Chain A
Amino acid sequence: MNRMAEPKFPASVVTATRVVGARERVRSRRRVMALARPYLYILPTFFFLFIFTHYPILKTFYLSLFKWNLATPKREFVGLNNYLQAGSTPLFWQVLQNNVLYAVGTIPISIALALGLALLINQKIRGLAIYRAALFYPTIIPMAAAAMIWLWILTPSYGLVNFYGKALGLPDIHWLGHSRFALWALVLVGVWKRLGHYMVIFLAGLQVIPEHLYEAAILEGASPWQRFWRITFPLLSPTTFFVAIMAVIDSFQVIDQVYLMTQGGPGNNTNLFIFYIYQNAFRFFDMGYASAVSGILFLILLGLTVLAFGILQRRVHYA
């Protein structure tokens, strides 16, 4: 029996296959590179974001499952106990309520005022730069300095507000030490401090609205009121949306004001979320509980942001 002849490919075919294989490899390497390139570009940013933002968030949730405080220096796994503890602590609910009041007090007023002021200084008037600088300046000065100024302005008896208030026949009120007014004094300072920042964002939004739309509207005889509601407001909606989300987050993240002006007092009337977390973590060294409250705040903010995207974004016009 003859041995079966092994199939033999001509040499050229063999080389061709090899060449094609190499080309394939090069091409696929290129494809991989092309796919990887964007990831490489974001890698440095992601690296820092991960270390300083994502990792701490994950770690916070992890720590929130432990009891870890002065009475229990070696941490102990307790599951969701810290969350249950927050739910059954009246102070936690008071803090939440205070913060919601603070948000309700600051957000609509600061947005409305910022928009109004942005409209005013978007016009061609004399001394524009001065107005813009004057309105923006509370944003520039640090809260620490601003708090000192406001502490002085709101001082009982001889602070500016009470001094002139008395001349107008108003009673002498200890704004920051009064159980009913202290939170609203913080709201006032919060609005004052953030107004300039929101105003500048609105101003930027106003300036990209094309001028010809207004020219056309004027030709059609639209009143200023109509021009605002039919052109400015809809076309400004992406900015408004952005400012609104910022304002919500800002109002739940306020701490410097509380720390510097009231320390949460009198009683717990001005104790807000981050201050409460700070107190538990760094004054009481109750890390597990503080982590759980941080986790709750994270979920609240996430929820509000998702809600805002769901509800408001449908009304946002991107020109």
Chain B
Amino acid sequence: MKSRAWILVMLLAVTAVPVWAATEIKFYYPVHLTGPLVKEIEAYVADFHKAHPGIRVEPVWGGNYWQNMQKTVAALQAGNPPDVAVHLAIDVVTLRDLDAVIPLDEFVQREGGEKLLGDFFPGFVSDLKADGKVWAIPFQRSTPILYYNKDLFRKAGLDPNKPPSTWEELLATAQKATVRDASGQATQWGLTIPDDPWLLMSFILQNGGRTHSADFKKVYIAEKPAVEALQFWVELANKHKVMPRHRTFPESVQDFAAGKTAMLIHSTGNLRFVRDSAKFEWGAAFLPKNKRQAVAIGGAGFFIFKKAPREKQEAAWQFTKFMTSPEIQARWNIGSGYIATRKSSFELPLMRDYAAKLPQVLVARDQLPYALPEMSTHDNQKVREIFRTHFQEVLDEKYTSEEGMKKAQAEMEKVLAPYQK
């Protein structure tokens, strides 16, 4: 009993001793691969403390992207939002609808304006802008890339240095790399893609289609290029049977690491996992093109909150600047696979050495000129969920591609109706 009381006193003492005169800021962030990536972020925070003894950052891990968003919105409703947080680029709309964040142009100007922004890859900056203002600084950005198992390519008689570069080649390669048992069931898939709208978007863009309007009020998923892209996907799974119908993000990357699929289309954010767990020779390539070369960007940025007092906003900016610096971005790319958001990161010796050892990391960067924003609308979570469920129901043959997308389009329009002013 006594010792327990002592522990309590000690705990109180440890937690109650403030770092005098330090500005404390609360930082919410999401990462998918919990263990290693949380440690990575905490290491950056520790380095930040060394460089800025006047600021204390309290990092709060919020789960995955939308769980983190949920946390922030709940905190907003309780009147106690974080001072700085990492949220998806597509959450710009929602965070502005909630009047939760401030534009960062003033800070950006102070650091040289275009000189600062010009060092970020343009695709990463453009989707964090709205109404001509900058709402977040790019961080934890990704695109899908094609991972492929060179050993399985060789076994199938395919050239391990020639990954498919068009839709037709993708289908042909997947057909050759699919292995079936006597009953015709696939024991090894040619291709695996998580059945998530984010990945379907890339196919829609490759087919010359579009997903949403620049004012975030309209969607175009029932247009011909979108329906055709979905149809191509559905046929890969249901007609040619070279791809499983449903796989989640974690399942599909595990399948690839276990050698159960010859090709995988997945986020660059999983490159570290593939690097550490694949016991075979693997390659990375651009997504195959159809009418054009294209890919949907995913990922996030650093937002600073309106409710924070001025001095905390200043501290939050210092932290944002640090976390999006070329050096930290290079470390984050190496540690996670998320693309370093700054061009100069790739000039650092650290990054050059890494790329010399693992040239696959450069694929995502080189694909960036073809990257376009992912679908972004008002009430984004609702719209995205409508997209996901209808997409999966089409895969389950509940509807044809056209019916499914028409239904989804109609439901999305219902959600977006209040915003059409």
Q: Which residues of A contact B (CB under 8 A)?
A: 69-73, 155-158, 171-172, 174, 177-179, 265-268, 279, 282-286
Let me know if B352 is at the binding interface, CB within 8 A.
no
Q: Known contacts being A70-B379, A177-B245, A265-B392, is A282 close to B74, with CB within 8 Å?
A: yes
- Bound-state CA distance A284–B248 (Å) is 21
A-contacting residues, B79-102, CB 8 Å: 94, 97-98
**What total of chain B residues lie within 8 Å of the partner, measured CB to CB?**
37
User: Taking the nearest CB of chain B, how far is it from the CB of A154, in angstroms?
Assistant: 11
Chain A residues, Cβ within 8 Å of B246? 174, 177-178, 265-266
Chain B, residue nearest A91 (CB): B389
User: Taking the nearest CB of chain A, how far is it from the CB of B196, in angstroms?
Assistant: 10
Are the C-beta atoms of A266 and B396 separated by less than 8 Å? yes
Chain B residues, Cβ within 8 Å of A177? 244-248, 251
Let me know if B280 is at the binding interface, CB within 8 A.
no
Let me know if B185 is at the binding interface, CB within 8 A.
yes
User: Taking the nearest CB of chain A, how far is it from the CB of B392, in angstroms?
Assistant: 4
User: Taking the nearest CB of chain B, how far is it from the CB of A1, in angstroms?
Assistant: 83
Chain A residues, Cβ within 8 Å of B396? 179, 266-267
Q: Known contacts being A71-B418, A282-B74, is A172 close to B185, with CB within 8 Å?
A: yes
Chain A, residue nearest B258 (CB): A158
Are the C-beta atoms of B398 and A70 separated by less than 8 Å? no
User: Taking the nearest CB of chain A, how far is it from the CB of B64, in angstroms?
Assistant: 11
Are the C-beta atoms of A157 and B260 separated by less than 8 Å? yes
Of B17-25, B30-38, B364-372, B380-388, the segment with at least 4 beta carbons within 8 Å of chain A is B380-388
Let me know if B374 is at the binding interface, CB within 8 A.
no
Main secondary structure of the interface of A (DSSP, over half): loop
Are the C-beta atoms of B244 and A265 separated by less than 8 Å? no
Q: Known contacts being A71-B378, A171-B185, is A285 close to B73, with CB within 8 Å?
A: yes
Contact with A along B218-260 (1 / 0, CB 8 A): 0000000000000000000000000011111001001100101
User: Taking the nearest CB of chain A, how far is it from the CB of B309, in angstroms?
Assistant: 23
Are the C-beta atoms of A267 and B393 separated by less than 8 Å? yes
**Residue among B185, B385, B398, B418 making CB contact with A283, cutoff 8 Å:** B385
**Residue among A69, A156, A284 making CB contact with B244, cutoff 8 Å:** A156
17 more CB-based (< 8 A) A-B contacts, given A179-B396, A266-B246: A70-B97, A70-B98, A72-B418, A156-B251, A157-B260, A171-B183, A177-B247, A177-B251, A178-B246, A265-B388, A265-B389, A265-B392, A266-B195, A267-B389, A267-B396, A282-B70, A283-B66
- Bound-state CA distance A180–B378 (Å) is 33
- Bound-state CA distance A155–B385 (Å) is 24
User: Taking the nearest CB of chain B, how far is it from the CB of A173, in angstroms?
Assistant: 10
Are the C-beta atoms of B185 and A266 separated by less than 8 Å? no
Are the C-beta atoms of B98 and A267 separated by less than 8 Å? no
- Bound-state CA distance A284–B380 (Å) is 8
Are the C-beta atoms of A286 and B392 separated by less than 8 Å? no
Are the C-beta atoms of B385 and A279 separated by less than 8 Å? yes
User: Taking the nearest CB of chain B, how far is it from the CB of A5, in angstroms?
Assistant: 77
Let me know if B395 is at the binding interface, CB within 8 A.
yes
User: Taking the nearest CB of chain A, how far is it from the CB of B251, in angstroms?
Assistant: 7
User: Taking the nearest CB of chain A, how far is it from the CB of B414, in angstroms?
Assistant: 10
Are the C-beta atoms of B395 and A266 separated by less than 8 Å? yes
- Bound-state CA distance A172–B73 (Å) is 42
Q: Known contacts being A266-B392, A267-B389, A267-B398, is A284 close to B185, with CB within 8 Å?
A: no
- Bound-state CA distance A178–B94 (Å) is 33
Are the C-beta atoms of B418 and A157 separated by less than 8 Å? no
- Bound-state CA distance A265–B387 (Å) is 12
Chain A residues, Cβ within 8 Å of B418? 71-72
Chain B residues, Cβ within 8 Å of A158? 258, 260
Chain A residues, Cβ within 8 Å of B382? 283-284, 286
Interface centre among B186, B246, B395, B398 (most CB of A within 10 A): B246
Write 8 A-B pairs (CB below 8 A) sorted by A numbering.
Answer: A70-B378, A71-B379, A172-B185, A177-B244, A177-B247, A265-B389, A267-B396, A268-B389
Chain A, residue nearest B398 (CB): A267
Chain A, residue nearest B74 (CB): A282
Chain A, residue nearest B407 (CB): A90
Nearest 6 A-B pairs (CB), nearest first? A177-B246, A71-B418, A179-B396, A267-B393, A266-B392, A267-B392
